[in-house]
Every structure is written in C-alpha cells, then in structure tokens.
Structure 1
Amino acid sequence: MSTPQPPMPQAAPPAWQAAPGTPHPTYTSPIPVVRTHLGHAIASEWTKIRSVRSTMWTLGVFLLLVVGIGLTAGALVAGSASASDMGDDTALSLGFFGLLLGSMCIITLGVLTTASEYGTGMIRTTATACPSRLRVLLAKSIVFFSVAFVVTLAAAAFVGVAQVGMIDQARTPTAGEWMKGVVGVSFYIAMLGLLSLLIGSIVRHSAGAITIMIAAVLAPLVIALFMFAQSMEKLRTALFEYSIPNQLSVFYSNSLGESGPSGWDPVWIIVGVTAMAFAGAWALLEQRDV
C-alpha cells in the first residue's frame, strides 16, 4: 500500500495579481481622460495644414501673383501719362488683377484641404480620432478660412498701400473704399476658398473639385462673351453681372452692369452659397462611409 503524497505547495501569486478568493481591485489608468471638444479638432487641423508642402507652395504662389502683379501694374501706371487719366478710380483698383489670378491658388488649397485626405486614406485616421463628422468639417472650415483670410488681407493691404504711394495723381481712397478694397475683397476670396473646401468634401476628388471651381469662376464670363443673339441679352447680362470676376470688381466700385450686385452684395451672395454647400457637405458626410 502506497503512502499518500503531501499536497504540493501553491506558488504565491505575483505582486500585480490578487490572491485567490479576494476581490479584484478596480484599475485606474494613470493617463488622464479628457473630454474632447472642437478646440482639439482645430489644433489637429492646424497641425495638418501647416505641415504639408502644398500649403506653402500654394500660398507662396498666391503672394507672388498678388504682390508681383499689383506692384507691376502700379509701376506701369505711375510711369505713364495715363496716371492722371484714372478719373474717379483710386489706385486700389489696380490690385484686382493680381487678386483674381491669386484666387485660383486659394481655390486649389481649399480643395486639397479636404479632397487630398480621401486620396491618401488619411480621412480614415481623422474619422477614427474624431468620430463627430460635423466637428471635423467645422474645424477644417475654421482653420482654412482663418489662414486664407489673414494671408489675403496682408497681401491686399501691402499692395494697396504701395499702389497709393506710387500713384500720386490718383484720387485718395476713403475709409470705406479701404474697407471694401482690402477687408471686403479678402473676406470674399477666403469664402471662395471655403466654398472650394466644401466642394472638395462633396466630390472627394482633387482634380474634379478644382475643375468644378475654376469652371464656376471663369465659365459664366466666357460663355457670356459668345452670346451674340438678341434673345439671349438678359441671360448674357446676368452672366456678366453675377460672374465671380465681376463680383470681385464691385469691391473697387467697378462693375460690368448697372443692375447687378453693388456695395457689399457679393459678400452676402458668397456667404449664402457657401452656407448651402456646407449643409450639403455635412449631410453627405453623415450618410457616406469613409
């Protein structure tokens, strides 16, 4: 008959493991839990927009066009006999040409701010980090609009001061003309870029969205130039007056028609169109999968 073996001693549990029969303690993470808000999304989008090369390139070309063309136009007018023939126009109106071309850069940057994330797949990471799609769209819009407005305002103000200083024969702009020709036009171009951002979110394709926006800027004016029939006169006039180049010229008290937008009307038009585009982009973001 065999002798019963004594029971094997139980190994002591590790320090991190509770002893048998005792309740497990509640784990407390040393990492503080912070409730995220719109400010965190804005900080994230600011990091994105300032860390990609496309932002520096597009804004660099924008400044080159606005400042280069603006100073060149001012120098040409100041050095010619036509400087005294500007009539009631101010030197600020010469900044129109550079801003019109430079707006293409703002449009491009606006599209790339959203559409490029769909091309690279970065939008999946964005949606994982911030599941609230409205918050993401708001953050992108706030960051982009702020950057576009500040850069355009600085460029327009610099060119305006330089042109007024170069052309002594032109009429001195009033405070209201300074406000429209610098702040108003900068706000309009920034809103145009924001509209491009929303179109990029809707289309989700960089080349397609840029094409749509450039067509929206140039197509109405080009189409109107080839409407020679008398029966199309009303449509032709409407295309001229409500084209984006003409709305930009309204900020300098120049317009292709007398019945179209005037004063601050272009601002209210672009704000209304952008608001509708924002609602559409938000609705599609909520329905679509990333």
Structure 2
Amino acid sequence: MTTHQPPAPQAAQPTWQAAAGASYPGYTSPIPVVRTHLGHALASEWTKIRSVRSTMWTLGVFVLLVVGIGLAAGALVAANASEGDLNGENPLSFGFFGLLLGSMCIITLGVLTTASEYGTGMIRTTMVACPSRGRVLAAKAVVFFAVAFVVTLVSSSFVAFAQVGMLSDARDPSGGEWFKATVGVSLYIALLGLLSLVVGSIIRHSAGAITIMIGLLLAPLVIALFMFSESLQDLREALFEYSIPSQLSVFYATSLTDSGPSGWDPLWIILGVTAAAFAGAFALLQKRDV
C-alpha cells in the first residue's frame, strides 16, 4: 500500500535589512559620504562650461568682434580725422560698435548654458547629481556671470587703452568715463547674458530662446525706424530710448537719444528685468518635470 509523505517544511525566507541596519552594526561604506553644498554645484558647472566647445567658439568670436571692430573703428577715425576734429571727443566711445555685435555671442552662450542640457538630456544627470534645482540654476548663473564679466572686462579694457593711444588728439577721459566704459559696460553685458541664460531655462529650446533674445536686442530699434505716424510718436520714442543698443551707448556717454535712461540707469533696468525673469525661472523649475 502506497503512503503519501507530507511535504517538507519550507525554510523561512530571510528578512533583508539595509546595510546600515541592525544586521550590520559594524558596516562602513567605502565611499565617503559628504554633505553637498553650493560649492560642489559651482565646481560642476565650471567643469561643464570650460569643457564644451561652444564656450570656446562663442567667447573666441566675441573677443574677435570686440577687439577687431573696436581697433578698426579707432584706426579709421584716426586716419581720416583732421587736426582739431576730435577736440572734446571721448575716444572710448568707439568701442561701442564691436561690443554691440559681440553681445550676440554672449546671448548665445547664455542660452546654451541651460537650454542645451535639455536638448541632449544631460539635465537629467545634472538633477540626479544635485536634486536641489534652485542650487543648479544658481550655480549656472554664478559661473556664467563670472566668465562673461571677466572676458568682457578684459576685451573692453584692451580696446579702451588702444583707442586712447591711437586718438591722441581727443580729450583725456575722466575716471568716471573709464569706469563706465570698462566695468560698467561689462556688468551690463554679463547681465544681458544672464537674462539669456534664464530665458533658456524657461523656454528649454536653444533656437527658440536665442531667437527671442536676438529679437529683444534688435527688434525695438528696427520697429521704431518704421513708425512714421504721428499717433505712434510716443511709442516710437520709447522704443528708441529703452532699446538695448541705446542703453548700451549710455555707458560711452554717446546716447542715441536726447532723453531716456542716463548715468547708471541702464544697469538698474537690466538688473531688475533679469531678477524678475530669474524668479520666474526658479518657480517654473520647481513645478515642471525634468
């Protein structure tokens, strides 16, 4: 007669615990655990911005435009000016033309600093490494602003010294004019690039953000040129006065208009606009998916 054997009892399943739990009281991770801070994010963003080719290309073209056009303008004026033509003229003002064109390079680099990561998907890796999104945006802003300011300051200062040497018949600039044409204009260009970085974070598309910023740079002045109606006279003057080229010219004491921003007003305007855009970008960054 066949008898059925009862099934063998199953071994109890082990209860797994984390390595740092009670089962492993003496465990020490071979990987050092460090509390991250803004300095780590700054180091990461500095590594990114100096290791990508777009930084070298855009900054290289920027320096070429600022220095090349600035020196060419000074040499052209010096070669064609008769004795006495430059009396009372500020020799620093001829640096305006190269810096206006070069600002498009800073705008492009600012957009690429943020928007390119969304295009390649690298932003996911960045947010995994640093889950604090506000810290990431702040680190990008600090690193980019420092790079843009230093490069602009060196380029504009070189052009300023060269133009004063070439235009010996012009008057000697005052200390305030030197400061505005070097440090002041460098702060303005760096803030303009920072605004581009913030717009790139909001739009998340390189071509779209660059188009918006180039339009912001050139469109008001171009639109104002075609406003011939008397009813649009006030709007036309406002577009002229508050266009970026007109505000940039204020730093060289050669304002394109007789009214509008003067002194340090353009710097406070761009600072306010950039701060408002930065706040909006920060709020959107917290709400959106990566």
SS in 1 for 2:63: helix
Q: 2:288 matched to which residue of 1? A: 288
Relative to structure 1, the CA distance from residue 83 to residue 135 in structure 2 (aligned partners, 3 Å threshold; closer, same or farther) is farther
Tell me the TM-score normalised to structure 1 length.
0.91
**Contact 1:77/1:83, CA 8 A, preserved across alignment:** no
Secondary structure at the residue paired with 2:254?
coil
1:35 maps to what in 2? Answer: 35
- Write the letter of the residue equivalent to 2:157: A
Displacement of 1:91: 0.9
25-34 vs 49-58, which deviates more? 25-34
Give the alignment of 1:139-150 within 5 angstroms: 139-150=139-150
Letter in structure 2 aligned against 1:159: V
* 1:215–1:27 Cα change, 3 Å: same
Comparing 74-83 with 120-129, greater Cα deviation is found at: 74-83
Change beyond 3 A, Cα 1:80–1:115: same
Task: Report the Cα distance in structure 2 between the residues aligned to 1:271 and 1:83, rounded to whole angstroms.
Answer: 42
Match of 2:274 in 1: 274
- In structure 2, give the amino acid aligned to 1:188: Y
Where 2:187 maps in the other structure, the secondary structure is: helix
User: In structure 1, what is the Cα distance between the partners aligned to 2:160 and 2:110?
Assistant: 25
**Closer, same or farther: CA 257–30 of 1 in aligned 2, 3 Å:** same
Partner Cα distance (1:89, 1:74) in 2:
12
Q: Percent identity?
A: 76
Q: Give the direction of change, closer, same or farther, for the CA distance of 1:170–1:31 in structure 2 (3 Å limit).
A: same
Which deviates more, 147-156 or 252-261? Answer: 252-261
Q: Is the Cα–Cα contact under 8 Å of residues 87 and 169 in structure 2 kept in the other structure? A: no
Query: What is the CA-CA distance between 1:23 and the residue it aligns to?
Result: 6.1
Shift, 1:87, TM fit: 4.6
Provide closer, same or farther for how the CA distance between residues 123 and 79 of structure 1 changes in structure 2, counting only shifts above 3 A: same
Structure 2 CA distance for partners of 1:95 and 1:83, relative to 1, 3 Å: farther
d(CA) in 2 for partners of 1:187, 1:82: 35
Task: Name segments (4+ residues, structure 1) moved above 3 Å.
Answer: 22-26
- The answer as to 2:158 corresponding to 1:119 is no
Q: Is the 8 A contact 1:157 1:182 kept in 2?
A: yes
Counterpart in the other structure of 2:85 = 85
* Mean CA deviation greater in 166-175 or 77-86: 77-86
Contact 1:54 1:109 in 2 (8 A): yes
Range with greater deviation from structure 2 (247-256 or 121-130): 247-256
**Is the CA contact (8 Å cut-off) linking 1:92 and 1:164 kept in structure 2?**
yes
For residues 1-290 of structure 1, the aligned pairs below 5 Å read 24-82=24-82, 84-290=84-290
- Structure 2 counterpart of 1:254, one-letter code: T
Residues 241, 261 of structure 2: 8 Å contact kept: yes
Instruction: Measure, in 1, the Cα distance between the counterparts of 2:144 and 2:82.
Output: 40
CA displacement at 1:255 relative to structure 2: 1.6
Looking at structure 2, the residues matched to 39 and 135 of structure 1 have their Cα atoms a distance apart, in angstroms, of: 10
Q: Which stretch has the larger CA shift, 30-39 or 197-206?
A: 30-39
What are the superposed Cα offsets for residues 237-270 of structure 1, whole Å, 9 maximum, x if unpaired? Answer: 0000000000000001122323300000000000
Instruction: Give, in angstroms, the shift of residue 30 of structure 1.
Output: 2.8
